[in-house]
Amino acid sequence: MSVPQLPLALRYPPDQRLESFIGAPDGALAQLRAAATGGSRDWVYLVGPAGSGKTHLALAVCAAAEQAGRGSAYLPLQAAAGRLGDALEALEGRDVVALDGLDAIAGQRGDEVALFDFHNRARAAGVTLLYTASAAPAALGLVLPDLRSRLSQCGRIMLDALDDDGRGAVLRERAIRRGLALDQAAIDWLLTRTGRDLGGLVVLLDRLDRESLAAKRRITVPFLRKVLDAS
């Protein structure tokens, strides 16, 4: 399995950078930046519920690594479940590897063995690994005790799901980066009427960006009603 060499902006979306992350625990961004740029040899295990920003940080670490001249790779484990050995083999030679969503392969012995072997090879080669999961290693349902032990040795960062203020801050920050005028009333309306899943809200913001450009209109509550009623 080959890994295409794409431009940085295509592999790692510009919205997903360390400096744009909202609600990080104290010291977490500095820890992640050090891991990405080679300032630290510590490996990182990000744990948090859905919507806490694990994927954002995994992509951001890869982007920061490449900006520092280091080769990186991001692998969503859900996409590689059942054939993880082949997927990991394609990542050999990178300086930084982010493995997102350990939950997807927990309990699958073949994938766990492949990950255990890759973990050991990466350690010997001086590669930096970042893992993400919804729970600590002991609570993931891993069937390979040695893998659970290795993962438990990583430095751990605990993320919390964002509250409405945090979700609003994310939407506001991303709107600013796109040059969108998104006032507080529009943000409040989105949070109360369209659900609070952050990933869904970000996708919706992308759609609203396109719709507002096409209509040459600001994103106001009446505009939101019109767009969403038409969907």
What are the average pLDDT values for consecutive 10-residue runs of the chain, which has 231 residues?
44 81 93 96 94 92 95 94 94 94 97 98 96 97 97 96 85 83 87 75 85 87 86 65
Q: What is the pLDDT of residue 8?
A: 45
DSSP 25: P
Contacts 24+ apart (CB under 8 A), 187-193: 189/221, 189/224, 190/224, 191/164, 191/167, 193/224, 193/228
Q: What is the pLDDT of residue 114?
A: 97
3 state DSSP class of 94: coil
Give dist(CA 25, CA 37) in Å, integer.
20
Q: What is the pLDDT of residue 196?
A: 63
Q: What is the pLDDT of residue 132?
A: 98
pTM tops 0.95: no
Q: What is the pLDDT of residue 231?
A: 65
Q: What is the pLDDT of residue 228?
A: 83
Strand partners for 76: 100
